Structure formats: structure tokens, C-alpha cells
Chain A
Amino acid sequence: MRFERPFRYTLVLAPYTLFKETLRVKSFDYAAPPSLEEAIKLLRTHPNARLLAGGTDLLVQLRTGRRETDLVIDVKRIPELNRIDYDPSRGLTLGAAVPCYRIYGNRVVSEAYPALAEVASIIGGTQIQGRASIGGNLCNAAPSADSIPLLIALGATCRIAGAAGEREVPAEDFCTAPGKNVLVPGELLVSVHIPPPAPHTGAYYLRFIPRNEMDIAVAGAGVQVVLKDGRFESARIALSAVAPTPLFVREAGDALAGSPVNSESIAEAAEIARAAARPITDMRGTAEYRKHLCGVLARRALETAIEKAREAQ
């Protein structure tokens, strides 16, 4: 996943230079366990091991000193983390290490979850998408992660495994602070599950970046709407880059439930989303600008999601 600086850290600590940015990194060992049990065993014996899927965040962080480790555990040989299982009645189970290109390259999955395929195609660029994974995007837990607001909007859940067994956590609870997630030492993310969409569902993630590709989101809105007879049956809205974690704005979606599909209700929901945002000022934008963007992006994302819902079966 894309390397995202912990903006708040850099502002509060002023030195960014405390991270002793370097060209290279301290020595570490490398292991590529072939099974989940092996990986869990290694995590138990190496408490500061880091997991490696696509490496597009981890390698940068190791080089800048933001993270340190003595063991890198490559999870790309573990079957459960590398599978895509889709069934129209059960939904999608996406292995945590599955790279972006396999998502949008999978025609069946792309048709069932077009917004997810599209998110996978905007993270970084072509080369990054050849390695980076949605699971890595989750675990890296950057406030600006592009996939997480959409996962929240889609009602995704995260399957976690560790020595104590397995558990599931909703996507909106997975990130706990910038760069921090809900995994306790010894655990790893196995897969993400997305339920099958109801009829007349549309989803979309819209972010704002200054260029057209390659940038970290200044702000982003992930939405899913379910329509019925000209009204919203339900809606979920989540925001990126405007809070310490990706922000599930439950109230905004709840306000839409039962409302007619028109510009007034959309505007109201967008305003609730905008009000909920609590961004900081950093090199990617001021707080005022980001808050403003939230309203714009939420509105535009809703409009697109509605269009897609109308086109869907």
C-alpha cells in the first residue's frame, strides 16, 4: 500500500527528522511461511515481526525508520490470504494479500463490486497495483487510505487469526489511530468479507487529489446506497483523510434511510458528513479546505452511487 506519513506525528513532533530518514534499513531476517499456523507461530516467537504482502508501505516505512523489525514475514504463500472466493449468495471473501490488479482483473468480481474494482485501480499507479493489497491498505491504517471508506460503506468485515483463535471485526472498527489497527501482537488479518449487494445497490468512492493519479487523498468519500421505489432504503457513508482513522458517518447514512432520492436529501446527508469531519492542516491541505471538500465529495459520490443503483439489477 502507498506510504502515508503520519501527519499528526510530524506536526506535533515538528521533527519528522526524529525519524532519521535514511536511504537504507537495518538488517532483518526473512521468512515465507506456507501456512497460517506457521505464520502465527512465527508471530508468537517474534513479537516485533512485520508482515509483508505487497510491501509498498512497509518497505518505505522500514527505510524511513518509521517502523523497525528484525523479521519480515512474507504472507504471499499462505493460501487463505491469497484467495478470491466469490459466490453471488454468500458474497466476496478477499484474501488480505491479494494485490489490486487481481481484483480489477477478475471480471466476475469487477461486475459484482464495480466500486471495489475501481478503488483498486486508483491506488498508486500501475506498478503499485501490481503489488499493493486491500488487506495491506487496511492494516497500514492510514487515515487517508483509499479502500477503507468503501469497505466501510459496503459493510465489510475483517477476519483476524491469532494464537487464541479467530475473530471478526467490522471494517469501521479495524483502524484505531493513525497507523494503528485493532490487531493485538500475534494476530494477522486473513481476509475481508463483503456481503452480496441487495438489489438496486450502488456504491462509489470519490477522493480528491491535486494530480490525476499517484497522490494520497486530501479527502475522500465512500458511499453505498440501496434504493427502493424512489427512496433510499439504506445508505452508508464513510470519509478518508479527515479524522485520525477512516470515519464512518453513521448519522449521514441514517438520515437518508426512508428519504426520497432528490437533491435536498443528498445535500442534507453531505452536510452531515461535512460537519462530522475533523481534519487537520498539513502539507496536503488545510483543515478548512478538507472540511469543505468532504461536503462536495460526499454529494458527488452519492450522486454517482445513485446512478449506479438505478443501473443495477
Chain B
Amino acid sequence: MSTQYTVIGTRPVRHDGADKVTGRALYGADVQMAGLLHGYILRSPHAHARIRRIDTSKAEAFPGVKAVVTAADFSPVEDKVVDLGEGNTPLSYIRGNVLASGKVLYQGHAVAAVAASSVHIAEEAARLIEVDYEVLPCVLTAPEAMRDDAPILHDNLRTKEFGEQTGRVSNVAEHFRHVMGDVEQGFAEADLIVEREYHTATVHQGYIEPHNATALWNNDGRILVWCSTQGAFVVRDVTACILQVPVSRVKVTPMEIGGGFGGKIPVYLEPVAALLSKKTGRPVKIVMSRKDVFEGTGPTPGSYIRVKMGAKKGGRITAAQAYLAYEAGAYPGAMVGPGGMCVFAAYDIPNVVIDGFDVVVNKPSTAAYRAPGATNAAFATETVVDEIADKLGMDPLEFRLKNAAKEGTRRADGPKYRRIGCVEVIEAMKNHPHYSAPLEGKNRGRGVAIGFWFNAGLPSSCTITVNADGTVNLVEGSPDIGGTRTSIAMQAAEVLGITAEDVRPTVVDTDSVGFTAVTGGSRTTFATGLAAYEAAQDVMRQMKERAAQLWEVSPESVTAEHGVFRSGDHSITFRELAKELSETGGPVVGRGAVQPRGVGGSFSGAMADVEVDPETGKVSVLRFTAVQDAGKAIHPSYVEGQMQGGSVQGIGWALNEEYYMNSSGTMMNSSLLDYRMPTALDLPMIDTVIVEVPNPGHPFGVRGVGEANIVPPPAAIANAIYHAIGVRMNRLPMNPPAIMEAVWSQRD
């Protein structure tokens, strides 16, 4: 049974559209105010070093400089463990990544900051800060960092293993293991076993807008912040924690945000700008350069992965084993946990062992990047699956269907799936004209892959006010990165029975709306949409009471459908009723505050046709199709947009993107010239298929779609390369030199 919606499923123009196509929308770097100073951050040139001494006197004396700060300017507090919603972390780690203290742990690590009347002066003055470093040996990959003789990053880091503290000093923050069934038995039953190992390079989210923050430490002690962020409340809480002030003293206004993909969840600049503002008594704006973005923010982990899989001749997978060692960067917290949850998540496998390692290395402290951890893992699994299917002579999608996860399938990390769309996604791929289209020509091949990512729940709040002209104001706290103002407004409009255009959504600061978690985790249309849904229901309840008052009937007798309220012979439209509010008791304000448990999870599939130039190793993507289960696509254009964007990030990750570091831990390619993201000329159109297997946990069936689409593309491209030239790639990126190397070693 399909529900007929009036607003949901349509494609209205986004509410912030006019501002965004005319340049009027204000992003963080556009902030202007009286007395504004400009900040510049000095960063470490060394990947690992002790800070013996910092002398800021020459910088402070430079004409035009108003203040200089270092970690010494943080309020003195004994180190303690804090919980900022991501589990327990030492305060020293959180402060340390913002301004280094004692040691620098990666090239690009922030060491000091200058505020001056112009950014040019701030930068010139920063060059006069003298930092006396004792350079230490550095370690740059997980396998190297896990060796007994590896240089240790944190003297106070002890390895946690299988949930218990071992007391061992090492660079491994945590080793977890998931066990299900009996893998030895499972492999013994297999007719075919494939085991492969993989190396994936560090990659960056690549948002076009660099990080920025403006802070004013006001005379009344309140700290006002304007910044580019995926979550104003995260900035508030983390900034307050770092500065050790009560949360209520900090107010964060999220400006429009120029891309995030997870990388704009961590806090880098706000506390520094606040310290500079405290010292100067003036607002201070700091904007990162592109180089700072690469070297001083949070890319996604590079990784070393082994996957072993066994299957019977008929195509059933009997056992699977994964070893995932992810680089956390300078501080613990690599997203190896989600990687471990996703590595076999698309399959029903009875015998599984998964080992995951969170390993610190002398690279920037990693942050989430769109389905963090899952893409690395899927690259391994989906190429092993392709190899098994190929060796068994089975169609790759048939093989996946034979083993697909379904409702009731248990994942090795514990949970059983509720209603999911894995099978439907694979079938949509099978039935797509792309799959059966002939692919002629030399060195051309087609590859497929599938992947999974969760939806986060987490809290969101929303209020809706009814205006006398029948429009409503919808106030919410989710920064709009991809059209969510509109997808949220559409859900309210559907409940209220009015048009999407008659809902006026605004994204507001942390003083003006209830707690709202990040725009990320594929949660915004789902959770903030649910908050809007609840707020709209609240409005409807009140509107029914007002109609009942007008008609002198009981509120229970009033029904509402498509924007018309009825009771007996009485009827009135939403718009007409809105005129009557001041006569019937005053303003109608509805509220919603949710922390939903009914999250769905989304499966996605990627299909790629490539041509490989066997003399140069260059891969051209000829055709690409993305399939994803959206549960219910609220605004199909923006769902398609997520699928296309994630696919292209996945293609870049597959083919050319990487942190190229020398042996001293210096990033050699920290510019958009040599960190090669796809341009319009590198891609074909990206076809999309939205599968809708409704999520029973949401009134409209919504599943978050933001992330799962980046998970399968690298594996799909690797599989396509194999089918084009017979070479199996086991590293990312699969750039031209890497492909030629693989071609040559195969020849030898």
C-alpha cells in the first residue's frame, strides 16, 4: 500500500534558494562587525616534537598586533575526563588539538595564534613567534605504529582490549573484536576461500569552504560565536568545555555552511578566537587557508585491512573474517568501530570474526567523513566478494542476493536488522538498464558493489508558530548543508495540510531553539523532520481546539485533512482559521523535541563502467549508476543530490585522492592542485534510482540518505577495473601509476 502525499515527494524550490544563487546568503567568512580583528594560527612544521619553549614577544611587539595566545592561555585545570557525546575523552586531548601543549603531534598542529588589525599583519607577526622544538621520530601508518619499537605519541595512553584496560603503553588506543558462530568451522566447510589485504590512503572531505569562526568575549561575560559548523550545539558544548565556562555563557550562531561531510563537527577555531577576543576586548575572526584545512583539520583514516571469506560452490558464504587497523591521527578515535560494524553488514553470514584497532599516528586527528570507516571496509569486502563470485562463475549481483542481509539477520556486532532494503537495492541494480547494457570496446569493464550505513537518532527540537495569513514560521537548529530546511519544512507542511512554500523555515542559534544534534549521521531529514512533525501535530491539536471553540463543538469531533478542518457540517481552511487565532485565545505555537529510536539504516549500490588506458593506467568513468534505499524520499531532487555527491566523492577517493606525505610526516600536496578532486570534466552524468522500503520507525518512512552512497563506489570502480584489464587492485587510490605498477607486476 502506498500512501498518497500532497507535499512529500514533490520538488519545491528550496526556501533559501534566492539568497544562495545571488550571493546574499551569509557564510562564516562573510561576517563583518565593528572593531573586528583578524586572527592567524601558527602551526607546527614537525610531525612529532616536544615544545621546549614558545617566545611570543616579538610578535606581540609587531605594529598592528593586539594579542597573541598559546595553550598557556587556557584556564589552568587539572586534566580530567569529559563526555561530549562521543564517549569519554581527556580534556587535555580536546584542548591539545586546538592549541598544542607539551608536544606537537602532526605537521599542521596549532601552536599559537595572533590577532591583528589585518590578516596580513597577523600572518607576518606570527612568523616572528619563536618556538623551540625538540624533534622526535614520527610514525605514519597503523602497522608501523603498532610495532613494539614504534615511537609513542601519548605517554598516558593505555591500550583497551576487548573492553578491558590492559595497562599497556602503546599507540593502540583500542582493540575490539566481534565474534559470531565459529569461523574455523565455517572456513572448513567452504569450497573456496579468498583472503586479501588492502592499504587505503588518508583522504579529506574536501568541502570547498574552509573553516572559519568569529568570537566575541563580551563585557557581560557571554561568549558569542558565529561559525561554519554542522552543529551549533556541539560548538557551544565543546567550546565551553575547552574554556571551562558554563555552557550557558556561550551562544553559537551557525552561519550558512559550505560543505561539511563530517569534517565540520570537530571544533578548531572557536576557542582560539574566543581567547583572542578575551585578551583584546574585540571580536576576532579566524578563517583557515586551504593549506590549514588539509593540515590542521580532520581527514578520514588511512587504513590497513585484511578480509578473508569462504563460500560454498553454490554461492553461500560460510565464514568471513576482517582485520581493520585504522589510523586515528594524533588523538584516539578513529572510526574503526563503525568500520567494524559495516564491513559485513550487507550479508547474512553465520560465522564471523572482526578485529578492529584504533591506532594513533603522527597525522592530523581524524574526523568523520561521510559514513566514516565504512568505505575503507567495503573496498575490501566488495572486491573479495567480486573475486569469489567471479571464481564461482556466478553473476555478481546474484551472488549478493544469495547472501543478502534481510529483516532478522544478525550482524556480528550484535543487532538484528528490522525492516531493511538490501535485497530491494540489489534487485533494482539487476533490473536497471545499465546492468544489461552491452559494454563494447577494448579495456572496458563494468563493476558493482553494495554498502550500508546507519542513521543516527540523537536529539532535535523544533517550534512552529502560526501566522495570521495562514503561513507558519518553523524554527529549527539544523544547519542546512544540502536542502534540509526544505525537507524539514515539507514534513511540517504535509501534517498541516498547507504548501511547502507557506512554511518559513529558519535555522537559529543555540539560545533560540532546543538542543539539536549535528547535521550529519544521515539524521537531519529523519530526526529534525520528526521534531517538525511533532511540532506540526502539536499545532494541529491546538488548531482543532480553536475550530472547536468557533463551532462550539468538542475538539475530539474535529477532523483535519489536506488543510481543511471539519466537524459535522462545519468546515474551515487552515488559512481561514489562522485569521481567527487572536479571537480564540491568542498565538498558536507548537513544539517538538525528539530523540528518536526508530532509526532505519540505508543500503546503497554502485554500478560503474570504466575504460582503462593500458599504457598509462588512466581510468575514465564512462557510466555510473547509484541506487539507494531512502525509505521515503521527502524531496527527491535533494535525495538524488546526496546520491550523486556521495558517488563522486567515492570516485575521487577511488581514483586520485590521497595525502601524499614524505617520510618526515609533511604533507606534500596540501593544495587543490595536487589533492585531486574530480572536476566536471572527469565525470559522466550520475544516474540515480531511489528505492523506497519505508522505515517503520518514522511516520513517513524516512531513512537518512546522506552517507551510504559513498560506501560502494571505490569497490565498484576496482571491480570494473578488474573486468576491464584483469588486474585486481588492493590499494586506494587506484591512480595511474598504481595501476601501471599492478599491470607490470602481473606481467612479471
Contact = CB atoms under 8 A, between A and B. Distances in A.
Contacts of A10: 668
B735 A210 contact: yes
Nearest to B663: A14
Contact of A23 (B123, B660, B679): B123
Interface stretch (A72-80, A81-89, A149-157, A282-290): A282-290
A22 interface: yes
Contacts of B666: 14-17
A234 B123 CA distance: 55
A23 B289 CA distance: 6
Interface string B645-683: 000000000011000101010101100011010110110
A286 B123 contact: no
Interface string A214-228: 111010000000000
Interface string B681-699: 1100000000000000000
A24 B116 CA distance: 14
B40 interface: yes
Contacts of A212: 679, 681-682
A101 interface: no
Contact of B120 (A15, A24, A125, A296): A24
B40 to A, nearest CB: 7
Given A16-B668, A23-B289, A283-B669, A213 B120 contact: no
Interface in B38-68: 40, 45
A300 to B, nearest CB: 9
Contacts of A293: 616
A131 B55 CA distance: 43
B130 to A, nearest CB: 13
Contacts of B741: 289
Contacts of A27: 120
B737 A211 contact: no
B681 A296 contact: no
A213 B677 CA distance: 11
B372 to A, nearest CB: 25
Contact of B618 (A17, A23, A208, A282): A208
Interface string B434-453: 00000000000000000000
A119 B658 CA distance: 28
Nearest to B41: A23
Contacts of B291: 21, 23
Interface string B605-621: 00000000001101000
Contacts of B598: none
Contacts of A3: 673
A214 B656 contact: no
Contacts of A211: 656, 676, 678-679, 681-682
Contacts of A2: 673
Contact of A17 (B45, B123, B669): B45
A286 B736 CA distance: 11
Given A16-B666, A214-B673, A23 B678 contact: no
A10 B667 CA distance: 11
A283 to B, nearest CB: 4
B131 interface: no
Contacts of A216: 673-674
Nearest to B290: A23
Nearest to A297: B616
Interface residues of A, number: 36
Nearest to B45: A17
A295 B615 CA distance: 10
Contact of B107 (A17, A213, A282, A296): A17
Interface in A59-107: none
A75 to B, nearest CB: 25
Interface in A173-215: 208, 210-215
B119 interface: yes
B273 to A, nearest CB: 16
B357 to A, nearest CB: 28
Contacts of A214: 673, 679
Interface string A278-313: 000011111001001100100000000000000000
Nearest to B655: A210
Nearest to B667: A16
B124 interface: yes
Contacts of A14: 662, 664, 666
Contacts of A213: 679, 681
Nearest to B677: A211
A210 B616 CA distance: 9
Nearest to A27: B120
Contacts of A296: 615-616
A20 B123 CA distance: 11
B193 interface: no
Given A14-B664, A210-B736, A20 B127 contact: yes
Interface in B99-139: 107, 119-120, 123-124, 127
Contacts of B669: 283
Contacts of B124: 24, 26
A24 B616 contact: no
Contacts of B662: 11, 14, 16
Interface in A129-145: none
From B107, B616, B655, B664, residue with most partner A Cβ within 10 Å: B616
Interface in A4-47: 5, 10-11, 14-17, 20-27
A293 B207 CA distance: 33
A16 B40 CA distance: 20
Contacts of A215: 673, 676
Given A15-B45, A210-B735, A283 B660 contact: yes
Contacts of A26: 124
B245 interface: no
Best-buried of A2, A210, A284, A285 by chain B (most CB within 10 Å) = A210
Nearest to B681: A212
Contacts of B107: 17
Given A3-B673, A14-B664, A23 B40 contact: yes
Contacts of B736: 208, 210, 218, 285, 289
Contacts of A21: 291
Contacts of B120: 24-25, 27
Contacts of A208: 616, 618, 736
Contacts of A210: 618, 655-656, 676, 735-736
A283 B119 CA distance: 31
A31 to B, nearest CB: 20
A211 B682 CA distance: 6
B740 interface: yes
Contacts of A15: 45, 664, 666
A10 B669 CA distance: 11
Contacts of A17: 45, 107, 666
A70 B40 CA distance: 23
A178 to B, nearest CB: 16
Given A23-B291, A283-B660, 10 more contacts: A11-B662, A17-B45, A22-B289, A23-B119, A24-B123, A208-B618, A210-B736, A282-B668, A292-B740, A293-B616
Interface of B: 40, 45, 107, 119-120, 123-124, 127, 289, 291-292, 615-616, 618, 655-656, 660, 662, 664, 666, 668-669, 673-674, 676, 678-679, 681-682, 735-737, 740-741
User: Top 9 closest A-B pairs, CB basis?
Assistant: A17-B45, A283-B660, A23-B289, A212-B681, A289-B737, A24-B120, A296-B615, A283-B668, A24-B123
29 contacts: A2-B673, A14-B664, A16-B666, A16-B668, A17-B45, A20-B127, A22-B123, A23-B40, A23-B291, A23-B292, A24-B123, A24-B124, A125-B679, A208-B618, A210-B655, A210-B676, A211-B676, A211-B678, A211-B681, A212-B681, A214-B673, A214-B679, A218-B736, A283-B660, A285-B736, A285-B737, A289-B736, A289-B740, A292-B740
